[in-house]
Amino acid sequence: MWKLLVILGFVLVQKSTAQSTITVLSYNIHHGTNAQEQNTIAQIGRLIRQFSPDLVALQEVDSATTRSRGADHLGQLARMTSLSPLYGRAIRLQGGGYGTAVLSRYPIIADQKLMLPNPDSTEQRILLCAYVELPNQKTIRFCNSQLEEKSPLNRGVQLAFVNKALENSIQPVVWCGDFNTDPDDPEVAKLMNTWVDAGKDSFAPTLIGTGARMDYIMTLKSSELELVRYRVLNVPKLSDHQPVLATYRFRKPKQMVSK
């Protein structure tokens, strides 16, 4: 009987812990290939299973393009990981689509896709958000974007647009993505008035071979989410980016002190 109670107690503690923390992975998968254009979708699926994140933000995701031989990369990853998929096509490409995606361990109860400003008429970019219902009855707004690479003007207005769209969210927000610029960019620095960059104390680069950190996981300063751990995963043979992993916990509400 005592052993049974201990086991039940252990299970309850595990369940409680699982409901009070959330682990997030953000990864630019380079249309499912490495630097040599070799398909790495199976290895990416194994990586996700290995680290077991609750939420995954993927950038540069092909859907039924010629270069990917008509494959549905997000569908493949969803089957390999048993996570629920959400796809956001940014542009039509080679008979299919190209954009960003989300995978979630928990139910996606709503979604949102916003077209980002494009004054310089470069490649169209999007903001993809999944509203995810967690086991602790909270709903989180999990957002993913890949910002402009070539035009600093576009990138700056896109950062400002996303900030405006998310800063007053009533749900806790996690904003992931490949921003295509480093933290020293003045436009990124402006965000730090409102956002907390999970990798702010890390010197690990995320764009392979450059020393640059271009991949981010962000939360609002006003959020009830508190960073527990941040890592850049060293898997240089799967993409031209390294994935970033962050674990958060929900801050305990402040107790009222009676006088």
Length of the chain as a residue count: 259
pLDDT tens for each residue of 108-133: 999 999 999 999 999 999 999 999 99
pLDDT grade for 68, boundaries at 50, 70 and 90: very high
pLDDT tens for each residue of 166-213: 999 999 999 999 999 999 999 999 999 999 999 999 999 999 999 999
Lookup result for tokens 């008509």: 70
Mean pLDDT over all residues of the chain?
A: 92
For the cut 60, the answer to whether the pLDDT of residue 142 exceeds it is yes
Structure tokens at 133: 């219902």
Candidates 58, 34, 67; CA nearest to 235 is 34
What are the residue boundaries of the structural domains of the chain, listed by start?
22-250
CATH number for the domain whose boundaries are 22-250: 3.60.10.10
d(CA 42, CA 29): 12
Residues 6 or more apart whose CB falls under 8 angstroms from that of 214 comprise 178, 179, 180, 181, 182, 206, 207, 241
The pTM for the full model equals 0.90
pLDDT tens for each residue of 15-44: 444 458 999 999 999 999 998 899 999 999
- Identity (one letter) of the amino acid at 173? V
